[in-house]
């Protein structure tokens, strides 16, 4: 199978490549990159004028819900949502049932993924840090890595016990794998539904203070420094967290962090609608936090944009705010939200956007970088930063539609992905 992408604007931050060229892909391998490549009658030709061709994006924080919660999402629907959202790879989090705390589950997930869309989307499981995600005993990390796990997290729950966290950091650092912490001090967060602040005061709603997140990150940074380990803070949401990670990086610690698109796009005023799709953990924070997150994205403190894609069924969210589960889907709006809120508002460049969706997460997970060179397998995300469109949740490929962004007008749209020999164009 031959594909010819005319007038491609390649931006590859790894090599610094930033050129407008044609790309010829034969049987999944980039055969030629050059100007005015001639159109072959046997090749599918696309004119990519105005579109960016980037190394394939990876979302390092996704809940695929399988096994255990297939009514919310399956590996199949999750991969389709990822492909639709411009991701050639996802990391799936271990809070499944059973959780990903033994090698057989890692293998099961990887096998299932191979059959979806002919293996279009690569799945890199994140395994549990502790057995049953209970924060007590370490999961068999070496076996999990051998089976294909790329990192460890008890996501949804923090590792609260400092000694367990110490052992996890030490053990995983010998395997060159990051410990991905869900930073939350549970006693401070107990019972909270939204951010503690003006809005929670107005609504009389039980709240989660920003320090619940920051205290855990502060402790973890101390551990990371002492044990010279690798630490990644998942879904940071507060100005204080940005500052802590910034200090950690200044000290040259091996630390990194991610932010979700909803945390830089929406503040806690959105909760005043009582829309259960504004309920997530960590909660939506304040305008000031958003400004700090954006500054962190701009100055490189925040390495990664990841969605924390958390599908929940329609009925689960059609309840009182108190009873609704935390979380929203994110795969199919992430790139467009980043384009709209960050690139078009001059917070980051397109090249930085690519770093945060592709280069940095792969570096943190110690995955080989993706290059756009002749002779390598094509792993590409193609998007148009200038197309305006309106989000329609009914068009999502995800099994769940729990998004607060329905009806939003966004600027920037994914055109398609190319991976494992397959081009997945727009519909």
Partner 1 sequence: MPLASRHLLGLEGVPKEDIQLILDTATSFREILERPIKKVPTLQGMTIVNLFFESSTRTRISFELAERRLSADVVNFSADLSSVKKGETLKDTARNIEAMKIDMVVMRHAAVGAAHFLTRVIKAIIINAGDGTHEHPTQALLDMYSIREKLGKIEGLNICIVGDISHSRVALSNIYGLKTMGANVAVCGPKTLIPREIGKLGVKIFYSVDEAIKWANVLNVLRIQLERQDRAFFPSLREYRQYFAITKERLDKSEKQITILHPGPINRDVELSAEVADSEHSLILQQVLNGVAVRMAVLYLLGTRSESK
Q: Known catalytic residues?
A: 308
Cβ atoms of 218 and 251 within 8 Å: the answer is no
Angle between helices 103-114 and 75-84 (to 10 degrees): 60
- Note whether 71 binds partner 1 by CB under 8 A: no
From residue 250 to residue 289, the character string flagging contacts with partner 1 as x (rule: CB under 8 A) and all else as - is ------------------------x---------------
- Note whether 205 binds partner 1 by CB under 8 A: yes
**Total residues at the site for partner 1 (CB under 8 A)?**
19
Give the position of tokens 């148009």: 384
Instruction: In angstroms, give the least distance from the CB of 273 to partner 1.
Output: 8
DSSP classification of residue 117: G
**Which backbone phi and psi does 382 adopt, to 5 degrees?**
-115, 125
Instruction: In angstroms, give the least distance from the CB of 313 to partner 1.
Output: 12
Cβ atoms of 182 and 327 within 8 Å: the answer is no
- Note whether 206 binds partner 1 by CB under 8 A: yes
Instruction: In angstroms, give the least distance from the CB of 154 to partner 1.
Output: 26
Query: Could you say which of 56, 99, 197, 385 contacts partner 1 (CB under 8 A)?
Result: 197
Stretch that binds partner 1, among 39-47, 172-180, 299-307, 311-319 (CB under 8 A): 311-319
> What is d(CA 374, CA 38) in angstroms, rounded to the nearest whole number?
17
> What is d(CA 353, CA 149) in angstroms, rounded to the nearest whole number?
26
Stretch that binds partner 1, among 8-16, 234-242, 249-257, 320-328 (CB under 8 A): 320-328
In this complex, which beta carbon is closest to partner 1, that of residue 161 or of residue 201?
201
- Note whether 186 binds partner 1 by CB under 8 A: no
- Note whether 196 binds partner 1 by CB under 8 A: yes
Burial of 104 (0-12, 13-18, 19+ CB in 10 A): exposed
Instruction: In angstroms, give the least distance from the CB of 320 to partner 1.
Output: 4
Query: Could you say which of 188, 203, 270, 367 contacts partner 1 (CB under 8 A)?
Result: 203
Instruction: In angstroms, give the least distance from the CB of 112 to partner 1.
Output: 32
Cβ atoms of 22 and 35 within 8 Å: the answer is yes
Query: Could you say which of 69, 71, 227, 321 contacts partner 1 (CB under 8 A)?
Result: 321
> What is d(CA 381, CA 327) in angstroms, rounded to the nearest whole number?
26
Cβ atoms of 185 and 127 within 8 Å: the answer is no
- Note whether 198 binds partner 1 by CB under 8 A: yes
Distances (CA, A) of 387 to 18, 19, 185, 347: 20, 20, 41, 19
Query: Could you say which of 202, 228, 376, 390 contacts partner 1 (CB under 8 A)?
Result: 202
In this complex, which beta carbon is closest to partner 1, that of residue 238 or of residue 379?
238
Instruction: In angstroms, give the least distance from the CB of 179 to partner 1.
Output: 31
Query: Could you say which of 95, 153, 200, 360 contacts partner 1 (CB under 8 A)?
Result: 200
Instruction: In angstroms, give the least distance from the CB of 288 to partner 1.
Output: 13
Helix (H) or strand (E) holding 390: strand 380-390
- Note whether 319 binds partner 1 by CB under 8 A: yes
Query: Could you say which of 39, 174, 322, 390 contacts partner 1 (CB under 8 A)?
Result: 322
In this complex, which beta carbon is closest to partner 1, that of residue 58 or of residue 324?
324
- Note whether 204 binds partner 1 by CB under 8 A: yes
Stretch that binds partner 1, among 7-15, 20-28, 127-135, 193-201 (CB under 8 A): 193-201
Cβ atoms of 22 and 36 within 8 Å: the answer is yes
Name residue 4's beta-bridge partners: 24, 45
Instruction: In angstroms, give the least distance from the CB of 318 to partner 1.
Output: 6
Using DSSP's 3-state secondary structure scheme, residue 28 falls into: coil
User: Which bin fits 86, alpha (ψ -120 to 50), beta or left (φ > 0)?
Assistant: left
In this complex, which beta carbon is closest to partner 1, that of residue 202 or of residue 376?
202
Residues 6+ apart with CB under 8 A from 152: 126, 127, 128, 129, 139, 141, 144, 168, 172, 177, 178, 179, 180
Instruction: Please give the structure tokens belonging to residue 405.
Output: 């962004």
- Residues that bind partner 1 in the complex, under the rule CB under 8 A: 193, 196-198, 200-206, 274, 315, 318-323
């Amino acid at each position: 199978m031959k594909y010819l992408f005319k007038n491609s604007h390649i931006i590859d931050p790894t090599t610094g490549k930033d050129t407008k060229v044609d790309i010829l892909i034969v049987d999944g391998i980039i055969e030629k990159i050059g100007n005015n490549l001639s159109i072959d009658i046997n090749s599918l030709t696309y004119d990519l004028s105005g579109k960016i061709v980037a190394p394939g994006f990876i979302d390092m924080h996704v809940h695929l819900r399988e096994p255990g919660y297939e009514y919310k999402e399956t590996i199949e629907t999750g991969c389709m949502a990822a492909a639709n959202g411009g991701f050639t790879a996802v990391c799936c989090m271990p809070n499944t049932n059973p959780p990903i705390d033994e090698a057989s589950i890692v293998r099961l997930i990887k096998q299932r993924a191979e059959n979806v869309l002919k293996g279009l989307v690569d799945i890199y499981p994140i395994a549990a840090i502790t057995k049953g995600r209970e924060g007590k005993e370490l999961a068999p990390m070496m076996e999990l890595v051998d089976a294909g796990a790329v990192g460890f997290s008890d996501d949804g729950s923090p590792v609260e016990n400092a000694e367990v966290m110490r052992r996890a950091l030490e053990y995983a650092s010998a395997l060159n794998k990051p410990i991905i912490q869900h930073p939350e001090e549970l006693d401070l967060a107990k019972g909270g539904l939204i951010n503690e602040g003006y809005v929670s005061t107005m609504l009389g709603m039980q709240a989660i203070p920003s320090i619940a997140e920051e205290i855990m990150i502060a402790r973890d940074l101390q551990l990371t420094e002492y044990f010279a380990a690798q630490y990644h803070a998942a879904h940071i949401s507060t100005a204080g967290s940005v500052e802590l990670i910034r200090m950690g990086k200044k000290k040259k610690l091996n630390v990194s962090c991610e932010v979700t698109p909803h945390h830089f796009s929406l503040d806690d005023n959105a909760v005043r609608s009582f829309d259960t799709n504004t309920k997530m953990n960590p909660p939506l924070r304040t305008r000031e936090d958003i400004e700090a997150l954006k500054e962190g994205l701009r100055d490189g403190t925040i390495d990664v944009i990841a969605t924390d894609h958390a599908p929940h069924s329609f009925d689960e969210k059609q309840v009182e705010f108190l009873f609704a589960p935390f979380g929203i889907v994110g795969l199919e709006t992430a790139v467009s939200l980043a384009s709209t809120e960050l690139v078009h508002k001059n917070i980051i460049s397109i090249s930085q956007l690519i770093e945060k969706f592709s280069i940095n997460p792969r570096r943190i997970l110690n995955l080989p970088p993706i290059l756009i060179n002749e002779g390598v397998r094509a792993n590409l995300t193609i998007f148009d930063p200038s197309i305006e469109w309106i989000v329609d949740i009914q068009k999502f490929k995800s099994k769940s539609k729990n998004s607060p962004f329905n009806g939003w007008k966004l600027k920037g749209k994914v055109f398609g992905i190319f991976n494992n020999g397959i081009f997945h164009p727009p519909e």
